[in-house]
Structure 1
Amino acid sequence: MTIGYTFSGGMAPEAPGLELYERYPAMRDWIDQVVDWTGIGVDRLLTEDFSGYFYSDDSRCDSDVRFVAEIRQAAYSIGIADVLTDMGIRPDAIAGSSIGLMIGASLAGAIGRRELLELLRHRTSLPLAPEGEPARAVAVAALSGPDDLERYVGDHRRDVYLAAEIGEFIDGGRTMYMFSGYLDALRELAAAEPEGQVNVITSLGGAHSPLEQFLYDLREPFINEMTFRDPEVALYSALDGRRLVTAEDVRSDFLLNTVRTTYMSNVTKGLAGHGVELAIVLGVSSPVAMFKFPFPILPVLTAADFEQVGGVIHALGIELKFV
C-alpha cells in the first residue's frame, strides 16, 4: 500500500504547544536546530498565540510575527515527519499547497531544510503591497457551486481573484474557497453577501493572484540563488497536479505559486494518480477531516494522533519500512 504526505498552506497563528517537543526526541532535536538557525526561542515558536494579530480586522501582522508563524508551520510539520520516520513511516509521494509545497519539497530532498527556513525569512520580510498602492487582503467563503463562484470573480470584479480552492466539504454541496484582491474590493464583495458568508482577513496581504506580481519580482532573485535538486520522493504540485520531476520544476513552482491559484483537487489528483491509498496530513493545518478526499486521510498533530497511526496503518495492511 502507498502512503502519501500532504501539507496545507498558510501560516500557523495558533500555538501547537510543547507536548510533542517534550515527548519525542526527534521533534526536540529538530526544533532545537530550528531555534539555533533562526534565533526564535522554543516558547515563542511553540506556545505564543498570534490569533489576535491574524484575525483582528484592524491590525496587520508585522514581518516578525509573520516570520514566526511561517517558521512554526514548517518546523512543526517537518518535526512530525521526523517522528514518523523514527516509527518506520515514510511517504511514497508528497503534495502540498502554497507553503505546504515548499515544506514537502524539503522533505522530498529538493531543497535543504535550512534553505527553506531562510526562504521563509525572506518571504516574510517583504512588503504586503507596493508603496503607495492600495492594501491587499484575502477572504474565505463556502460556496455551493460554479454559479456562485462566477458571482465572485470575473470581468465584473477585476480586483478580486480566486486564490485557492481549499476543499469540498465531506457532506457535499459546498466547497471552501479563498479569494485575493484589493481590500476595498473584498469588503465590497462581503457587504453584498449575507452576513458571515464572506470573511475578509486584512492582516496578511494578498496571495496567489496577479496582484502579487510585485512579490514574484521581489522573490525571484532570492529563489534563483537557492540550490534546488531533483526530488528524491514523488512531489506533486497544487497548481496543476503534475509531478515535479526536476530541480527546475520545483524552482518554477515556488515562483508561480505567488501569482497563480492553488487547488486542493490538484493535490488529491496527484496523490491519487500515484496510487496513494492513505494520506497523512502533517502539521498545524486546517481541519481537513471536514473535506472530501478520494482516499482515507489521517491528520497527525498531537501525541494521541501518533498513538493511533500504527493501528490505522496495520489495519490497512501497510508494511512499515524500518531502516
Structure 2
Amino acid sequence: MSLGYLFGGGVGTEPHGLELYRAFPVVRQWYAEVSAWTGLTVGQILEEELPTAQEERQSVGTVREAALAVAVHDALAQYDLRPAAIGGLSLGAMAASCLAGAVDRRELFEMLAHARHTPEPGPDEPEQGIAIAFAPASAGEAQGAGAGTVDHPGQGVPGVYLAGDFGPTADGSQRLLMLAGRADALARLAADVPPGSVVPLPGRTIAVHSPLRRPFREFMAPRIDSMTFADPLLPLLSCLEPKVLTSADDVRDLFQRNSTDPISLVDVYTGMQQQGVELGLVMGPSIPEGILAFPFPVVHVDQPEHIQQALSTAYDLGIDLTGSRARP
C-alpha cells in the first residue's frame, strides 16, 4: 500500500496557512523564501486582501495557494512521509510538478508572480465567468479520453465550455463539473436549466481552462519557455489527459496548456490508483472535504492537527512510506 499527494486547483480569496505558519518553523522559513522571490510581503501572501485588478489579483492568489500547498508538503516531510505518486489540478498540477523535481521552486514562484503583468481585459471585452454544474452520475468520460469529454449542461451552447470534471459526488448521485465562458452565456444557461444544476460563481471573472484564456497563455508562453524543466523523480499524474508525465517536455507541455485546456480530477486519482496508491493526502483546502468520491481514503491536510491525522491514518492502513522522495 502506498501514499499519494493530491493538490487542488483554484484561487481562493480567503487567508490560508496562518495556523501552519505559526506552528512550524520550516513553514515560516518557506514563506520568507517565497516573499524574497516574488516581491510580496509574507502578510500579502498569507492574509491580506488581494489586489483588485483582475490579473494582479489572480497572480497573487496563485502565489498564496501554491505557497500553502508546498508548506503542507514541507510540514509533512519533517515526519518522513514520502509519496509514491503525486499530481494535482491546474495550479496544483504545477505545484506537484515542482515537488516531483520537474521544476525549481524559485522558478515556479517567479513565474506565478510574473503573471501579474498580464494585460488587463479591455472595457469593451465581454465579461467572463465560471459556474459549478451538476450532471447525471452516468455522464462519465469516454474510456481513456481524458478531460473535456463529459456530457454536460450547456453542451453546444455558444460561449460555454467544459472547464473541469471533478467526478462523482460522495453519494454517487451526480457528477460535479466546472463550466467557463462568457458571463452572459452562463447566466442564460443557468436560467434555462433546472434550478441548481448550473450555478454561476459570483466574483469569478476569469474563464479558466477555456479558449477565452488564450491571451493569457500567449502572454505567459515566453516565460514558461525560458524555464528549466527536468524529468520527474516520481510518477506525476496529468490533469489534462490520462497520462503519467515522465519527461521534462511532458511537464513543459502541461505548463503551456494548463490555462486553456479542461482539467480532470478523475484522470489524476485514477492514475494514482493505477500506481498503487491506497491513501491520498489532499494538500491544502482547495478540494472541499466530503463532497467528492475518491477510489481510496483521503485525508485533507491544511491545519496543524491534520498532520497527526495523516500520520495516524498512514500507520493504521499500513501504508508504505519508502517511496521516492520529492525534491526539496
Please indicate, yes or no, whether the TM-score normalized by the shorter chain is above 0.5. yes
Structure 1 residue matching 2:245: 3-state secondary structure:
coil
Partner residue, 1:79: 71
Deviation at 1:304, TM superposition (A): 1.3
Deviation at 1:213, TM superposition (A): 2.4
Percent identity of equivalent pairs = 35
Matched-pair contact (CA < 8 Å) for 1:167–1:265: yes
Matched-pair contact (CA < 8 Å) for 2:4–2:272: yes
Mapped to 1, the partners of 2:219 and 2:229 lie a distance apart of 19
- Name whichever of 98-107 and 305-314 sits farther off: 305-314
Partner residue, 2:292: 291
Q: How does 1:99-110 map to 2 (within 5 A)?
A: 99-110=91-102
- The 1:91/1:256 distance shift into structure 2, 3 A limit, reads same
Deviation at 1:128, TM superposition (A): 5.8
Partner residue, 1:227: 228
Deviations 1:53-73 (A, max 9, x none): 9xxxxxx65333322211111
- The 1:130/1:147 distance shift into structure 2, 3 A limit, reads farther
Deviation at 1:320, TM superposition (A): 4.1
What is the TM-score with the length of structure 2 in the denominator? 0.88
Matched, 1:186 2:186: yes
- The 1:66/1:257 distance shift into structure 2, 3 A limit, reads closer
Deviation at 1:166, TM superposition (A): 2.1
What is the TM-score with the length of structure 1 in the denominator? 0.89
- The 1:85/1:101 distance shift into structure 2, 3 A limit, reads same
- The 1:300/1:187 distance shift into structure 2, 3 A limit, reads same
Residue 75 of structure 1 aligns to which amino acid in structure 2? A
Partner residue, 2:312: 311
- Which one of the candidate residues 84, 88, 92 is aligned to 1:92? 84
Mapped to 2, the partners of 1:230 and 1:118 lie a distance apart of 20
Q: How does 1:217-256 map to 2 (within 5 A)?
A: 217-256=218-257
- The 1:222/1:311 distance shift into structure 2, 3 A limit, reads same
Mapped to 1, the partners of 2:232 and 2:56 lie a distance apart of 31
Mapped to 2, the partners of 1:291 and 1:305 lie a distance apart of 19
Matched-pair contact (CA < 8 Å) for 1:128–1:206: no
Mapped to 2, the partners of 1:200 and 1:37 lie a distance apart of 35
Partner residue, 1:160: 160
Mapped to 2, the partners of 1:154 and 1:129 lie a distance apart of 26
- The 1:320/1:150 distance shift into structure 2, 3 A limit, reads closer
Q: How does 1:52-201 map to 2 (within 5 A)?
A: 61-127=53-119, 129=121, 132-145=124-137, 150=151, 152-155=153-156, 157-201=157-201
Q: Where in structure 1 are there 5+ consecutive unaligned residues?
A: 54-59
Deviation at 1:321, TM superposition (A): 4.6
- Name whichever of 122-131 and 308-317 sits farther off: 122-131
Deviation at 1:278, TM superposition (A): 0.8
Matched, 1:32 2:32: yes
Q: Where in structure 2 are there 5+ consecutive unaligned residues?
A: 141-149
